[in-house]
């Protein structure tokens, strides 16, 4: 893996790679080079499988991070490429022509994060939500607790206990000594 990155690093701009295991590495790449890197990895280096495509909302930095995780079955290597996008604009580049499965991921990202992928098949259709009109629910400025309280009724009488203190009270009522 290291040697693979070493080989590629002259031609592309890589960030500092993070090795979680010897065969699992995360590295940040430039958005303009993503397509070239993915194509080369797929066609030349044997990374034939797109394991997942997901996003992280870095709201403090006003950025979205896309993670393209690809896998080389033969050499048992997994490489994850991170791309940072502007959060305001929230538009990524579709890769459905490299891996057709990416279209489904992109549809999901469109619905859950509001990241658009122009040109991806059926990207504008609803994916799992029906009739959703609010902010995309995985964005961090969407407050799911507030939303659920404004939408669904609570049943009065529901109590929430902190498991640790609750069980301590139930099981060891007089601990520490004299607490009771």
Partner 1 sequence: MEDVDDKFLKKNKEVPLREELRPRKVTTPDGQEIEIEPLRDYFCEAQPKVHPKAYSKIVEDFYNWARSNSLWILGFGTGCGAIEMRPLMTPRFDAYRYGIQWRPTPRQANLLVISGYLSVKTLKRAIRAYEQMPQPKYVMGLGSCTINGGMYWDSYNTIKRLDDYLPVDLYIAGCMPRPEALLHGFMELKQIIRKGEAEGANKYAENFAQYKANQKAVIKDWDMPDYNW
Closer to partner 1 by Cβ: residue 58 or 142: 142
How near is the Cβ of 77 to partner 1 at its closest, in Å?
36
Beta strand pairing call for 24-28 and 77-86: parallel
Among candidates 100, 102, 101, 129, which has minimal Cα distance to 114? 129
How near is the Cβ of 154 to partner 1 at its closest, in Å?
6
Instruction: Kindly state the number of chain residues that form the binding site for partner 1, as judged by CB under 8 A.
Output: 27
Residue 12 CA to residue 88 CA, distance in Å, equals 26
Closer to partner 1 by Cβ: residue 62 or 133: 133
Build a one-symbol-per-residue string for 15-54: x at contacts with partner 1 by CB under 8 A, - elsewhere: ----------------------------------------
Residue 124 CA to residue 110 CA, distance in Å, equals 8
Q: Tell me the backbone φ, ψ of residue 67, rounded to 5 degrees.
A: -115, 120
Q: Which stretch binds partner 1 (CB under 8 A): 49-57, 69-77, 156-164, 168-176?
A: 156-164
Build a one-symbol-per-residue string for 67-86: x at contacts with partner 1 by CB under 8 A, - elsewhere: --------------------
Binding of partner 1 by 165 (CB under 8 A):
no
Query: Which own/partner pairs from 122-126 qualify as long-range (CB within 8 Å, at least 24 positions apart)?
Result: 123/94
Tokens describing residue 155: 């049943």
Tokens describing residue 152: 């669904």
Which of 10, 144, 164, 177 binds partner 1 (CB under 8 A)? It is: 144
Tokens describing residue 109: 């990202």
How near is the Cβ of 124 to partner 1 at its closest, in Å?
14
Q: Which of residues 114-133 bind partner 1 (CB under 8 A)?
A: 128-133
Residue 68 CA to residue 77 CA, distance in Å, equals 14
Rule CB under 8 A: which residues touch partner 1? 128-135, 137, 141-155, 157-158, 160
């Amino acid at each position: 893996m290291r040697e693979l990155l070493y080989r590629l690093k002259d031609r592309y701009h890589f960030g500092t790679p993070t090795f979680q295991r010897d065969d699992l590495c995360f590295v940040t790449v430039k958005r303009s080079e993503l397509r070239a890197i993915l194509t080369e990895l797929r066609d030349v280096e044997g990374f034939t499988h797109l394991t997942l495509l997901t996003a992280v909302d870095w709201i403090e930095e006003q950025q979205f991070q896309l993670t393209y995780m690809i896998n080389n079955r033969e050499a048992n290597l997994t490489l994850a490429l991170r791309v940072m996008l502007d959060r305001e604009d929230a538009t990524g580049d579709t890769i459905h022509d490299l891996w057709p499965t990416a279209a489904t991921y992109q549809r999901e990202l469109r619905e859950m994060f509001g990241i658009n992928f122009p040109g991806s098949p059926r990207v504008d259709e609803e994916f799992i939500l029906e009739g959703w009109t609010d902010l995309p629910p995985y964005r961090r400025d969407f407050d799911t607790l507030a939303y659920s309280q404004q939408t669904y009724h609570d049943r009065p009488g529901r109590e929430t206990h902190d498991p640790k203190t609750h069980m301590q009270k139930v099981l060891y009522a007089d601990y520490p000594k004299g607490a009771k």
